[in-house]
């Protein structure tokens, strides 16, 4: 190593000092460490080596080294500031002020969600609470507790999506084909009375076409108490229909069949498009089918530990997507469940 008193040492340090102004960012960092680094920096080592010199030399050479150290510190700081300014200037040169602004993405609520929230709110006003259940069910809750006979065609693989996984008792598991198994869960969970609405997804092995989706929303309802009659069913569901479709719609109940209700009915409202005179939307009938309903079957109450001598109740189930289609005049359910945001975002901003 050259000694600090050596002229070559000071000369070479001066040369390095003048080169600092040309260094790029990473070379600048490396050079700063190489010169000023506390462990092995060139200047640091030279300053340490001063100890070996005579008092006289220490004074002159020490002063020269300290002066050059200050110059190095100033040079590194100046070059660093210059590089930062340059980077900022380059960034602003790359900013093209003539480009069109970028659209900010605002999420919108899905039309089916809007309808679900509205329907749930109507029933909450009537004293119904919200209940939920899992999408994966067993056959017992999805079918048998609901009084489906073991040979019912709905149990066929053809209609029901079974899972490979088995339940805790080794029983087959499936994707619930309706939200009705949550009725069973609610009734088994505690004593009556029950007044619940149950929004959730249901799954069927259907092709995805204009009127079917393999996964779709349902809203289930259940009201069980002492003395609940078909009059309560009609009054509650008529009120609901008038709230959703307007006071002027007519409502009718047609006899129907479900294994878990007796008697069973389907509720229609007068066609919201033609007002009841007959059009394509109502297939000329003047009526639109809205939901299935009925008085909870005695056997279902028994299967769920509810005494049918003491309690009666009604249940209903509907598809909010169908209601959204009627409400918004949509011809195809795939518009709702197809996931095309250009279509879906027309229905309202968040909070609307
Ligand atoms: N679970 C029935 C369906 O999916 C609807 C329904 C629910 C009917 C409750 C009556 C009572 O079609």
Tens of pLDDT, residue by residue over 192-246, are 999 999 999 999 999 999 889 999 999 999 999 999 999 999 999 999 999 999 9
106 three-class SS? coil
Contact 320, 218 (CB under 8 A): yes
If asked whether residues 201 and 60 sit together in one domain, one would say no
Report residue 349 CA to chain centroid gap.
16
Residue 284 Cα distances to 255, 277, 346, angstroms: 20, 7, 29
User: Is residue 1 situated within a structural domain?
Assistant: no
Where is the domain boundary, 69, 94, 119?
94
For residue 295 and ligand 1, the question of a CB distance below 6 A is answered with no
- Is 352 inside any structural domain? no
* Closest ligand 1 atom number to CA of residue 318: 5
Q: Is the CB of 294 under 6 A from ligand 1?
A: yes
**E strands of the chain, at which residues?**
129-130, 136-138, 162-166, 172-175, 194-203, 215-225, 251-258, 261-270, 287-296, 312-318
User: C-alpha angle 296/300/306, rounded to 5°?
Assistant: 90
User: From the CA of 300, how far away is ligand 1's center (Å)?
Assistant: 13
Number of domains comprising the chain: 2
Token pair in block for residue 331: 């011809």
In ligand 1, which atom is closest to the CA atom of 314? 11
CA distance 120 to 124: 6
Same domain, 188 and 77: no
Helix (H, G, I), strand (E, B) or coil at 287: strand
Residue 323 located in a structural domain: yes
Q: How far does Cα 240 stand from its chain's mean position? A: 28
Is 160 close to ligand 1, i.e. is its CB under 6 Å away? no
Indicate which residue's Cα is closest to atom 5 of ligand 1.
Answer: 317
Residues 323 and 233 in one domain: yes
> In the predicted model, what is the mean pLDDT of residues 320-329?
92
| 109 Cα–ligand 1 center, Å | 26
Pocket residue to mutate for ligand 1, from 317, 318, 320, most atoms within 8 A of Cβ = 317
Domain co-membership, 76 together with 219: no
CATH number, position 195: 3.30.930.10
Residues 248 and 343 placed together within one structural domain of the fold: yes
* CA angle centred on 24, ends 22 and 26, rounded to 5°: 140
- Looking at the structure, do residues 53 and 163 belong to the same domain, yes or no? no
Q: Is 62 exposed, middle or buried (0-12, 13-18, 19+ CB in 10 A)?
A: middle
106-129 average pLDDT score: 95
Phi, psi of 255 (to 5 degrees): -60, 145
Of 27, 62, 94, which marks where a domain is finished?
94
Residue nearest to atom 7 of ligand 1 (CA): 317
Scored b (16 or more CB within 10 A) or e, 125-163 reads: eeebeebebeeebbbbbbbbbbbbeeeeeebeeeebeee
> 265 lies in a domain?
yes
Q: Is the CB of 261 under 6 A from ligand 1?
A: yes
Q: Are residues 83 and 136 in the same domain?
A: no
Same domain, yes or no, for 293 and 178? yes
For residues 58-70, give the mean pLDDT: 89
Residue 281 sits at the vertex; the CA angle it makes with 279 and 287, to the nearest 5 degrees, is 80
Model confidence over 9-37: pLDDT tens digits? Answer: 888 888 998 999 888 988 999 998 999 88
Torsion angle (degrees, nearest 10) of CA 259, 260, 263, 267: -100
Partners of 136 in beta bridges: 175
- 106 in a structural domain: no
CA–centroid distance, residue 316 to ligand 1 (Å): 6
Mean pLDDT across the chain, nearest whole number? Answer: 91
Answer whether residue 103 is part of any domain. no
Q: What is the pLDDT of residue 229?
A: 98
Predicted TM-score (pTM) of this structure: 0.72
Q: What is the pLDDT of residues 275-311, one digit of tens each?
A: 889 988 888 999 999 999 999 999 999 999 999 999 9
> 129 is in which domain, residue-wise?
111-347
Among 94, 119, 143, give the residue marking a domain's end: 94
Asked if residue 316 and residue 223 are part of one domain, the reply reads yes
Residues 153 and 213 in one domain: yes
Assigned token pair, 289: 């089918």
How remote is the CA of residue 6 from the centroid of ligand 1, in Å? 99
Question: Ligand 1 mean position to 339 CA, how many Å?
Answer: 26
Which residues are CB-neighbours of 159 under 8 A, at least 6 positions away?
Answer: 153, 177, 204, 205
214, 203 Cβ separation under 8 angstroms? yes
Q: Decide if 105 is inside a domain.
A: no
pLDDT value for 44: 87
| Residues 88 and 115 placed together within one structural domain of the fold | no
Q: Is residue 59, in this structure, part of any structural domain at all?
A: yes
Asked if residue 293 has its Cβ within 6 Å of ligand 1, the reply is yes
Q: Are residues 38 and 116 in the same domain?
A: no
Coil vs helix vs strand at 67: helix
């Amino acid at each position: 190593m050259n000694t600090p008193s050596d002229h070559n040492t000071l000369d070479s340090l001066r040369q390095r000092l003048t080169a600092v102004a040309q260094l790029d960012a990473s070379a600048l960092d490396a050079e700063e460490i190489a010169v000023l680094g506390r462990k092995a920096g060139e200047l640091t080592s030279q300053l340490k080596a001063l100890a070996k010199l005579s008092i006289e030399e220490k004074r002159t050479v020490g002063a020269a080294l300290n002066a050059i150290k200050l110059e190095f510190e100033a040079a590194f700081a100046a070059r660093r500031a210059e590089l930062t300014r340059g980077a900022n200037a380059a960034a602003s040169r790359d900013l093209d002020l003539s480009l069109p602004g970028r659209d900010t993405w605002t999420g919108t609520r899905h039309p089916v969600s809007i309808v679900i929230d509205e329907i749930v709110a109507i029933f909450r006003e009537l004293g119904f609470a919200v209940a939920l259940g899992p999408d994966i069910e067993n056959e017992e809750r999805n079918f048998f507790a609901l009084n489906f006979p073991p040979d019912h065609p709905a149990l066929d693989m053809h209609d029901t999506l079974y899972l490979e996984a088995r339940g805790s008792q080794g029983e087959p598991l499936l994707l619930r084909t309706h939200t009705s198994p949550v009725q069973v869960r609610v009734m088994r969970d505690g004593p009556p009375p029950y007044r619940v609405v149950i929004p959730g997804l249901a799954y069927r092995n259907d092709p995805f076409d204009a009127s079917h989706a393999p996964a779709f929303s349902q809203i289930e309802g259940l009201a069980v108490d002492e003395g609940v009659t078909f009059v309560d069913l009609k009054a509650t569901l008529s009120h609901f229909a008038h709230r959703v479709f307007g006071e002027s719609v007519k409502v009718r109940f047609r006899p129907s069949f479900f294994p878990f209700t007796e008697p069973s009915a389907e509720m229609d409202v007068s066609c919201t498009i033609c007002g009841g005179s007959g059009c394509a939307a109502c297939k000329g009938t003047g009526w639109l089918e809205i939901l299935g309903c009925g008085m909870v079957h005695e056997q279902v109450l028994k299967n769920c530990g509810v005494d049918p001598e003491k309690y009666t109740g009604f249940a209903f189930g509907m598809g909010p997507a169908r209601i959204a289609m009627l409400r918004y005049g949509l011809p195809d359910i795939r518009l709702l469940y197809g996931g095309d945001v250009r279509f879906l975002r027309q229905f309202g901003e968040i909070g609307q």
